[in-house]
Every structure is written in C-alpha cells, then in structure tokens.
Structure 1
C-alpha cells in the first residue's frame, strides 16, 4: 500500500505578508511626513523664543486663513485643539487639531474650516463648544467669572448667528443693569438653555419657579416691562 503524502501545516502566504508589511510601512511613513508638514506649518506662526503661537502669530494665521480674528471659526479651531490658554496655541494642541482635520498645509486648513463649523454645529458638540468658549476666555488660573463687556462680545460671536433676537435683547439688558459686573459659568450656560427652551419674544413658557439663574429671572421681568 502506498503511503499517503503527509500534509504540511499551513504556512503564511509570504507574498501577502510582505504586501501587508509594505502597506504598513508606507502608511507609517506617510503619517510621519504629514506630521512633519504640520510641524513646519506651526513653525511659520510660532514665536521663535517661546515656541508657541502667541497673539501675534494668531493674527498672522487669521490673515493667511483670510478670516477675522473675531471669526467664530478661529474659536472653533481653538476648541478642536483643546487649547488651554486664550491667544496661545502649543505644538501639541496644534498637532491635535490639524491631524484630526487632515490639514497639513494652509490650503487644506482653509478648506477644512467649513467642515469644522459643521462638526461644531451638531447640537451635542455645540453645547460642549459653548461651555469651552467661556473657559477659554478665563485669563487667570483661579478666575471663575468674566466681565459683562467681554460676555456681550462673546455672546455675539458664539450665539449671534443662531439666536440673534435673544442675544440682542440680553446684551441690551446686560448693558443697562447694575446688579452684575461679571457673569459666571452657571449664568452663561443658563442663557444657552434659555435660548433653546424658551419661546421668544413672548416667553410664555418661562417659569421663574424653576431653577433658572437669578439674572435670567431679572431679564424675564425686564422683557415683560418692555413688552407692556
């Protein structure tokens, strides 16, 4: 009887394995080159001594992006970076945002801004962005509140395009009232909730008995007097 040929154990396909290794190597090299370009772009705006992008560098960046320094998309870019200090971008923050946006050139970054705005406008993201905008404007480590004048400007930038009437009236109220010189995070977030939940300008569904910040109760009373 002829002995049956013994089967060899399955061996990895050397061609497939080599192709996979080459693909991974190419991907790794591509990622490294992308990061190098992101770093080179950072260096165009970073202060050579502090190694961060400071207010002067941000002004230059805005000019090359063809947007105003007060454009909401610059604040959105800071949100994407998770930038911790107003007016300053570190290399790690810059890398975080530009890698996520797949923007390793100025042209790509300019084209990425509209997509970034769409991302931020998603309601769940916008709530986080709105809270971030307040924290970003805290200029000192233990600061808990922001002066009314700055709040008025920030409201116009962050909410003006979405809740124009509410922002205009609230800003008018903030400018004429004398009870509050600063606004805290609870009051800031309360106004965002107000914009989303309360019918305006009639405000028929506003209930002062609910847990609203006192400043909004006062704003409600001021609006009722104006309407009367």
Structure 2
C-alpha cells in the first residue's frame, strides 16, 4: 500500500515537473516571438514592429482585432507593446506561434462580443486613444474613426448617422469618456431609427439630445 502511494507521489511529481517544463517552453517561445518584432534600443514593439507583426498574422493594422489584442494584453500605450503586456496577452490566448495566434483571433472576437466584455473593451478603446498625459478627450475626427471601428459592426445604422451628425455639427470639437459611453448605451437602449423611446428628461448628455433633434428634423 505504502509502495503504491509513493509511486503515485513520484508520478505526480513527474507530471508537475513535465507541466512546468512545458509552461517554461511555452513562455520561451512567447518571448522569442516578442523579440522578432521588438525594437532593440527601446526593448518594446513599436508601430513599425506592429506593422510587421500584422503582416505576418495577415491582418491590417487598422483592423479591430488588433485593438482586441491590445485589450487582451492590457496594453497602455497606443502603438507599443511591452514584453510584460505581450506575455499577458499571448499566454491568455495560449498562442506561442504566429499560426496559433491566427487561430486565436476568431475566438478573441467571440470573447469580446460577450456583453460584459464588450463594455470593458469599448471603454478601453477610448482610453487607449488618450495618447497625452492628463488627456481626457479625443478629437471628433478620431472619435468618428473609433466609433466606426469598435461599434460599426454591431450597430451600423446608428453609427452611420451618429458619425454623419458629428462631422456636420460645429458645437463640439472633442468627445469625452461620458459622451463616449453614452453612445453605446444609446445604441443598446434606443429604438432606431424611430427614436420613440428617447426621453430628453433622462440623464443623456446634451450632445445626444442635439443628435436626436437633428435626426427628427
């Protein structure tokens, strides 16, 4: 009996040693992949490295999936990936080669499209565009591009009209986080294009009141 339990302990120790070996091998491959694209002097993947990476995974650098990948890595600076961010994202996706990464992208899209994840991704995409210290808003042009990218595939009619309105009005030069989050709430809650359940008495930002007036006119 004792011999069988010591055998089990040995087997379990062999298994855990094999697992930790596999994990460290996986991390080694993830790291090696990072250094293929990283800039030697900064030790980060910069915009040039990202372009080269996108070409290898056969995805355009303006594709929403690259933003989803940045979200998965919790990347902080637009156009740059640190080794720690890269490890975090690729480990979570269980992708230590370009081939595995290509296969992981459709799964990542599914993950982001779950409502709770999408809310997080949507607010992340705004913060990711704040490139200056203490910046709290993004210009209308960038906001329109971002809306199109992150919300366009789910709410094409609403986003089309919202972008048209934002580009034609002259009152607002920038969009802040509160307005940005309200756009998503608007798309989720308001009947479109009838807008018959839009109530201006509720706490909508003024920019959406103006948009609804513009639509009704």
**TM-score interval w.r.t. the shorter chain?**
over 0.9
Give me the whole-angstrom Cα distance separating, in 1, the residues matched to 2:58 and 2:4: 54
* Cα RMSD after superposing both structures: 1.1
Alignment-derived partner of residue 193 in structure 1: 185
| Alpha-carbon offset, residue 141 of structure 1 | 1.8
Structure 1 residue matching 2:29: 3-state secondary structure: helix
CA distance in 2, matches of 1:175, 1:105: 42
Residue number in structure 2 paired with 1:15? 7
Match of 2:56 in 1: 64
The alignment covers a number of residue pairs equal to 217
* Whole-Å separation in 2 of the counterparts to 1:35 and 1:155: 35
For residue 92 of structure 2, what is the aligned residue in structure 1?
100
| Equivalent of 1:206 in 189, 198, 204 | 198
Match of 1:224 in 2: 216
2:128 to 136, 139, 164: 136
- The aligned runs of 1:29-48 (5 Å cut-off) are 29-48=21-40
**Greater C-alpha radius of gyration:** 1
Per-residue Cα deviation, 1:87-121 (whole angstroms, up to 9, x for no partner): 00000000001001110000000110000000000
Secondary structure at the residue paired with 2:138? strand
| CA distance in 2 between partners of 1:127 and 1:12 (Å) | 52
Aligned-partner Cα distance in 2 for 1:45–1:101: 18
Work out the CA distance in 2 between the residues paired with 1:140 and 1:186: 19
How far off is 1:11 after superposition?
A: 7.6
Structure 1 partner of 2:83? 91
CA distance in structure 2 between the partners assigned to 1:31 and 1:134 by the alignment = 34
Per-residue deviation, residues 186-205 of structure 1 (Å, max 9, x unmatched)? 00000000000000001000
| Runs of at least 5 residues in structure 1 that lack an aligned partner in the other structure | 1-8
Per the normalisation by structure 2, the TM-score is 0.98
